Amino acid sequence: MKKKISIKVHQALCLLCLLGKNMYDVEDEELKKILETIEKNPDIPVTLKCQAGDVFSFQDSDEKDSTFERKKDLEILQKLDFFPGITIPARILFNRIYLRIKTVKDICFDCAYAEKKYYEKARKLQISLTSQHCGQYDKSIAAEKAKKKGIRIIIPPRTIEDLEKSKKESLKAMYDARNTGIRIRPHLLLCAVCQYGGGVKPGMAYDNLPELIQLILKEPETKLTLVEGADWVMCAPCPSWVKGNKCVHSYGKCGLPNQLRDMRVLQKLNLDYGKTVKAIDLYKEIFEKIPSTLEICRFDHYDTSMWHSGCGQRTKNNPDYVRGRKILIKQLNLKPAPASETHQRMNADKRK
């Protein structure tokens, strides 16, 4: 299997257009090979080639395109907010295309297929068959039915069978590790509080956090090990988890926001990856040093940015976190400093 592929920018849209014409196959041999490669590895790095010239001439190829082809490529890059020569996982590329290019009418003005709206048809179909975020089991079901009919799916979602099996096996692994250290990425400790405050109960199909909180309430001495990435033990049943402990949350973009959240949490707690701590002690530190989700979860980017995350757009502390923190402090019999005092101490530390 190739480790990466290179395509002309407009070929990504051409691929969708031909799928709109025939959802079962692609008649162009070059595009067919590209589709087959991505179907096998949805996260394969894709380099977008473009005869851009100017300061981006370093990535130009010897193959010369017409002025109109070059214009088409630049129009697409502009809409995607990408630069010439960018290398990015196929999953992110196509989800960005789905979100930002709703029609090719003004891009492919010289193509007869554009008039027939093949692209728009394929885009709508691919979106309907792609798991965009956690919990969309209906899309996985629809995708399985479509694949049985022979319909080609560029970025297929995880199967229901895989999700259900992963839920069962990962939960067992979580309970088995409670005395040695349940592997969990740091920011999920806050997510668990938000869910608890929002009334989420165990049994959520795509998440193990409700079960983790119940375990901690029953056995506060449970040990937790802080790890990097979307570790299988906690993230296995999530539709956004991909092999290799990677996260493609937030409409299939990437796990960059989660990585930064993890590191913000570690900084606040003065801890690092690999540290194993008793849950009761860890949450006491969290409730003292992180009274608000704003410093951890907020991201100021437009909704198609790779840094965008729905819960990160808040301008105030997540009310579910406020509620969950208050309840858990009482149930775990913790007495952290009040939020106002914690903020004062944090501000004093910054001034030193």
> Based on the domain organization, do 292 and 176 belong to the same domain?
yes
> Based on the domain organization, do 320 and 176 belong to the same domain?
yes
The pair of structure tokens assigned to 95 is 């989800």
3-state SS, 78-140, equals HHHCCCCCCEEEHHHHHHHHHHHCCCCCCCCCCCHHHHCCHHHHHHHHHHHCCCCCCCCHHHH
| Count of structural domains, the chain | 2
Domain that holds residue 95: 5-128
Backbone torsions φ then ψ of 184, nearest 5 degrees? -150, 140
Provide the phi-psi class of 28: left if phi over 0, else alpha when psi is between -120 and 50, else beta. Answer: beta
CB 260 within 8 A of CB 270: no
> Based on the domain organization, do 122 and 24 belong to the same domain?
yes
> Based on the domain organization, do 80 and 221 belong to the same domain?
no
**Per DSSP, what are the bridge partners of residue 45?**
89
37 in a structural domain: yes
> Based on the domain organization, do 169 and 79 belong to the same domain?
no
In order along its 352 residues, the chain shows pLDDT tens digits of: 458 999 999 999 999 999 999 999 999 999 999 999 999 999 999 999 998 888 888 888 777 778 888 899 999 999 999 999 999 999 999 989 998 999 999 999 888 999 999 999 999 999 888 865 554 677 888 888 999 999 999 988 888 899 999 999 999 999 999 999 999 999 999 999 999 999 998 988 888 999 999 999 999 999 999 999 999 999 999 888 888 898 887 666 678 889 999 999 999 999 999 999 999 999 999 999 999 999 898 887 666 677 777 676 566 889 999 999 999 999 999 975 555 454 454 444 444 4
The pair of structure tokens assigned to 36 is 């087959």
> Based on the domain organization, do 169 and 318 belong to the same domain?
yes
Laid out side by side, the sheet with 5-8 consists of: 5-8, 45-49, 87-89
Between CA 166 and CA 25 the distance in angstroms is 32
135 in a structural domain: no
CB 321 within 8 A of CB 193: yes
> Based on the domain organization, do 169 and 53 belong to the same domain?
no
